[in-house]
Structure 1
Amino acid sequence: MAGSSRDGTTDGRKRRWQQHNAERRAAVIDAALTVLSRESEPGADISVQQIADESGVHRTVLYRYFEDRTDLDLAIQREICRRAGDVLLSTTTLEGTVKEIIHRVIGSYVTWGSDNIALLRFAEKQVNGTTERPLDDAIGQFAEQVELLIGGIIALLDVEITDNDQDALAPWVFLLVGGVMAAVRSWTSRDELRPDTSTFIDLLAEVTWLQIDGLVTSRNIVLPDLPIEQLLTFTDAKES
């Protein structure tokens, strides 16, 4: 019994330390994002000392929670991608017409990007000492969600697509998503955001819609101008 108690005490201390370590890591990352957003020009490097000062911990203590600068920078990038991803995923829903969904999703990313240019630039950087790129992983994960959305719409319309089109769906979606993100990267790199945000959102949404509409039209697929939630009723009526 005594041995069991000691083991339980040890496990409890270990869990408390792990929780404390996770909380301190999160606090340091939050401090880094504050420094990036408030104190640096987009794309500029920030120092560990700046992060330590903002988080209220000594520079040497900060490295108790991160293996090295590479680990710290990757953690910052992952958090930036998580926050951008949360914004995007919250808008990737089956509400509205296809055109409205496209406009909503693109609008959310363009708005987030224009409001967080410094964070976007940092997420795009290649971190020294690693080949890992959290932004590429995030793009891939979001593209998978968009692919599922498109697959659901195809199933809802009960249309047949060729094996080649099915196999090309994932790369094509990645092209759409990556293209929009590249356009936002170019636009936010300007000294002045021209055209304005609203106009740029409309333009990107229109271009993306034309790509999708052109492709499905060439396959003799009709996308009804109805909210997605009504497509099932539309399909049933067409079959009756």
Structure 2
Amino acid sequence: MALSDHFRELRARVLKVALTFLVVFAVSLFFFDQLFDFVYGPYEQANNGLPPQSSLAITQGPGGGLMLYLKLCGFAALLVTCPVWLYQIWAFVMPGLHPSEKRWTRIFVAVAVPLFLIGVLLGWVTLPKGLEILIGLNPDGITNLVDFNEYLQFLTRTLLVFGLAFEIPVFVVMLNRAGVVKGRTLAQYRPWIIIGIFVFAAIATPSTDPFTMTIMAVPMVILYFISEVLARVHDRRKAESSLNAGLSPDEASPL
């Protein structure tokens, strides 16, 4: 295809994504109350475990309510349309890939998406406990006024951090497939990598409690062990295939 044809195809796919997003965004406006209850749930659950009047969710400015509608419904539309814009990106890139690259990309997507969702689910489960600890740090007699827009940013950041953290082992396996990282190297630096995982979990989790950090770090360590095993198996198979390379059908291999 000519460069102009690529641009026209890109424009068509962007328009499809934008149209789908606008339709879902308009529909989500009618379900704002349900979306609000869903997002407000962890905060309310955390607030119930604290003394009365210890915190309060607010919005600021005359346009605070409007911005809350736009942000919440926009975030919901972005999540709902995720399969659409991911497919459009894949469909735009796929013609330029080799058959082997297409196969590994499909495997990558099939594994990465469930891991991301599992990470988001764990972040959602631990969010109330983290909020309870953070809000409970306020001294007695002090009311914590929380801007709901800031709370929404805190929630989305927490869920994204958990989701992206679970993608790290997938990238380790892909780097091993590309020949950048060897399974033997992963085993050699395993203790330091585990320490680094716990340090990353302590920094990445917004709350300061060890419970949330452990919930993120332990599954990451398990996934790291799995990625290390897969990397070592791949290296072993690659070494065996290199030994057999260039042999005639009647010639015995060194094995």
Same-fold call, TM cutoff 0.5: no
Larger Rg: 1 or 2? Answer: 2
